[in-house]
């Protein structure tokens, strides 16, 4: 697993052992998603959140591309902290050891807290609807990685794009007032 592009491009990230519960987003999948996003938005000075961050590969890719700040949220932040140390990133990151929905509910009084939110919950996650509805309260672009067999009808009027990559699918929502 590596950073695809930007100032940290080609740097390798630490991955968990294969028998652990984490399923990091593949390089190929991240590259495809970032190619789509790069054609639509500039990452410079954005505030980003990487929910269910695991190794932090999405947020670290954003930092490499110039985001101002990334908040990593997970119940276990050990792997993302190791990768930030490995890359020498200190100033532009925050680590929140919490359930993602609980964290978002605590900050809903700041609807412009993040320009971009990425979430990669476990495929056997039961709260997709609650997660999407909670994030819809923020004025943000939201990228949700989920199993490609899953059909999401929640907030379907805000879906900009669905992209299948292997067994994963990425659904991109625009909860801002303007369009993508």
Largest distance between two CA atoms of the chain: 43
Q: Which residue has the tokens 């909860």?
A: 175
For 81, list phi and psi in degrees, rounded to 5. Answer: -65, -40
Interval 43-77: pLDDT, tens: 999 999 999 999 999 999 999 999 999 999 999 99
pLDDT at position 147 is: 87
pLDDT at position 23 is: 63
Q: Work out whether the CA dihedral 36, 155, 102, 26 comes out positive or negative.
A: negative
Q: Which CATH superfamily is domain 27-174 in?
A: Vaccinia Virus protein VP39 (3.40.50.150)
Domain boundaries, the chain: 27-174
DSSP string, 77-136: -HHHHHHHHHHT--TTEEEEES-HHHHHHHTTT-TTS-SEEEE---TT-S-HHHHHHHHT
Question: Sheet harboring 159-165: ordered strands across?
Answer: 93-97, 69-74, 47-51, 116-119, 141-147, 168-174, 159-165
Closest CA to 89 of 8, 2, 6: 8
Whole-structure pTM value: 0.90
pLDDT string in tens for the chain (180-residue length): 767 777 776 777 777 766 455 566 777 888 889 989 998 899 999 999 999 999 999 999 999 999 999 999 999 999 999 999 999 998 889 999 999 999 999 998 887 889 999 999 987 889 999 999 999 999 999 999 998 888 777 788 899 889 998 888 999 999 997 665
pLDDT at position 91 is: 86
Interval 116-133: pLDDT, tens: 999 999 878 899 999 999
pLDDT at position 175 is: 94
Closest CA to 34 of 131, 172, 179: 172
Cα–Cα dist 5/1, whole Å:
13
pLDDT at position 178 is: 63
Strands 159-165 and 141-147: unpaired
What's the number of CA atoms in the CB half-sphere (13 Å) around residue 42?
A: 3
pLDDT at position 179 is: 60
Give 12's DSSP letter. Answer: B
């Amino acid at each position: 697993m590596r950073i695809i592009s930007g100032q940290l491009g080609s740097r390798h990230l630490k991955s968990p052992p294969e028998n652990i519960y984490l399923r990091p987003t593949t390089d190929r999948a991240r590259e495809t998603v970032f190619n789509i996003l790069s054609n639509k938005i500039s990452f410079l000075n954005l505030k980003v959140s990487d929910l269910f961050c695991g190794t932090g590969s999405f947020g670290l890719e954003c930092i490499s591309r110039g985001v101002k700040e990334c908040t990593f949220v997970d119940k276990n932040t050990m792997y993302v902290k190791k990768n930030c140390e490995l890359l020498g990133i200190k100033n532009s990151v925050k680590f929140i050891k919490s359930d993602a929905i609980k964290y978002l509910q605590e900050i809903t009084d700041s609807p412009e807290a993040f320009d971009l939110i990425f979430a990669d919950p476990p495929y056997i996650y039961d709260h997709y609807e609650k997660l999407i509805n909670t994030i819809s309260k923020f004025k943000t672009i939201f990228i949700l990685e989920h199993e490609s067999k899953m059909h999401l009808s929640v907030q379907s009027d805000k879906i900009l794009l669905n992209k299948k990559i292997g067994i994963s699918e990425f659904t991109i929502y625009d909860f801002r007032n303007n369009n993508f």
